[in-house]
């Protein structure tokens, strides 16, 4: 298998022996998934791809890897999230473990130099190609705990818990606000339940629970799952939070009175309609008779065609030119 992503193409040309190494927050790449080493990722999709190849996977936020000769961190779009990964690696790996950091120039890899320097971790440049940069340092005790990166803020009378890399980190998204301001009465929500797909920090789930709904929240990202759990707990609200890719974390037979979502359409810097398309296409078999789907989306996204195909018709509850709130009922 050859590497297909630029960062992996840079790594592929190294003469380092990566056997037993820990690949941290990597992209989907067949060269990695068919190669050596273990993975630590908050992305369930990445974890599943590695498990399917029989590879060792750490999918929690507090892993216990042992005998790790080195780790490679793929620098994320969010620099604050990159800092969390560095803090976590310095916390969970022995001091002086080799640590490489790789990323694309347009993804902000050069900011990693400042983050490492601020934590007292000196580093050297190993290589640059494919508009990417590869750095190397070693882990060491750091003065900041990874848990200190979590933050809270107030919105809509709720206390929201947030983490870098979670959608809407540290603020209420404008589209989510529009959705919650125009959310219709959800018949059967208290008995048959409501699911928030792509829950992020849990603001939709918490708002629904506050209205008396029996709430399930799901997200593919482990940081979002933990953020939603903490948000519900911070507001003394009940709800179930599961990690899953759209509906994959749920029993096949489970049905709901309503689905409410601000579905994602970005994968790092790339537009990806896949999750939202699956959310809409598979919604009818996840709803009881008379159940509803309500979602908000950027006005330019091609969701009307998907809604018509899945449900036959829909209504627009709100449109502020940037965002639209769509609503449809399972007949």
DSSP state of 105: G
Q: Do the beta carbons of residue 43 and residue 225 sit within 8 Å?
A: no
CA distance 327 to 38: 43
Residue 80 has which token pair? 């604050």
pLDDT at 16 exceeding the cut of 90 = no
- Separation in Å, CA 220 to CA 44, 140, 276: 5, 31, 13
Phi, psi at residue 115, to the nearest 5°?
-65, -45
What is the number of other CB atoms lying within 10 angstroms of the CB of residue 149?
19
Q: What per-residue confidence (pLDDT) applies to 105?
A: 95
Q: What per-residue confidence (pLDDT) applies to 76?
A: 95
Q: What per-residue confidence (pLDDT) applies to 205?
A: 98
CA distance 240 to 210: 14
CA distance 72 to 70: 7
Spatial strand order of the sheet with 132-138 comes to 57-58, 38-40, 22-24, 70-74, 98-104, 132-138, 124-129
pLDDT at 273 exceeding the cut of 70 = no
Share of the chain above pLDDT 70, in %: 97
3-state percent breakdown (helix, strand, coil) of the chain, nearest 5: 30, 30, 40
Q: Where are the alpha helices (DSSP H) in 263-329?
A: 274-281, 303-311
Beta bridge partners of 294: 260, 327
Range(s) of the chain covered by CATH 3.40.50.150: 6-146, 150-329
CA distance 204 to 228: 9
pLDDT band at 194 (very low <50, low <70, confident <90, very high): very high
pLDDT tens-digit series, residues 101-159? 999 999 999 999 999 999 999 999 999 999 999 999 999 999 999 999 999 999 999 99
Q: What per-residue confidence (pLDDT) applies to 36?
A: 87
CATH node for 6-146: 3.40.50.150
206: left (phi over 0), alpha (psi -120 to 50) or beta: alpha
Phi, psi at residue 155, to the nearest 5°?
-160, 135
pLDDT band at 283 (very low <50, low <70, confident <90, very high): very high
pLDDT band at 301 (very low <50, low <70, confident <90, very high): confident
pTM over 0.85: yes
CATH superfamily to which 150-329 belongs: Vaccinia Virus protein VP39 (3.40.50.150)
What is the number of other CB atoms lying within 10 angstroms of the CB of residue 196?
28
By DSSP bridging, strand 38-40 and strand 57-58 are parallel
């Amino acid at each position: 298998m050859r590497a297909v992503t630029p960062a992996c193409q840079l790594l592929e040309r190294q003469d380092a022996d990566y056997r037993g190494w820990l690949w941290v927050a990597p992209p989907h790449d067949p060269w990695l998934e068919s190669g050596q080493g273990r993975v630590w990722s908050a992305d369930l999709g990445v974890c599943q791809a590695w498990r399917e190849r029989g590879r060792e996977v750490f999918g929690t936020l507090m892993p216990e890897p042992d005998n790790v000769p080195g780790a490679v961190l793929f620098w994320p779009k969010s620099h604050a999230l990159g800092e969390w990964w560095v803090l976590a690696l310095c916390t969970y790996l022995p001091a002086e473990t080799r640590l490489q950091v790789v990323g694309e120039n347009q993804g902000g890899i050069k900011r990693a130099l400042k983050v490492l320097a601020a934590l007292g971790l000196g580093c050297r440049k190993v290589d640059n190609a494919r508009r990417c940069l590869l750095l190397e340092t070693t882990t060491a005790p750091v003065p900041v705990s990874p848990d200190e990166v979590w933050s809270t803020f107030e919105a809509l009378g709720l206390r929201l818990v947030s983490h870098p890399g979670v959608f809407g980190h540290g603020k209420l998204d404008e589209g989510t606000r529009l959705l919650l301001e125009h959310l219709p009465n959800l018949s059967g929500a208290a008995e048959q339940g409501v699911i928030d797909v792509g829950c992020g920090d849990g603001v939709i789930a918490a708002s629904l629970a506050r209205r008396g709904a029996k709430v399930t929240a799901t997200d593919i990202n482990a940081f979002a799952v933990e953020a939603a759990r903490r948000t519900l707990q911070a507001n003394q609200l009940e709800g179930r939070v599961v990690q899953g890719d759209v509906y994959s974390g749920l029993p096949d037979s489970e049905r709901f009175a309503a689905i409410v979502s601000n579905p994602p359409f970005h994968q790092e810097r790339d537009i990806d309609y896949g999750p939202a398309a699956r959310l809409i296409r598979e919604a009818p078999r996840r709803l009881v008779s008379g159940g509803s789907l309500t979602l908000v989306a950027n006005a330019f996204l091609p969701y009307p065609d998907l809604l018509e195909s899945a449900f036959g018709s829909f209504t627009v509850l709100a449109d502020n030119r940037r965002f639209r709130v769509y609503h449809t009922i399972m007949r």
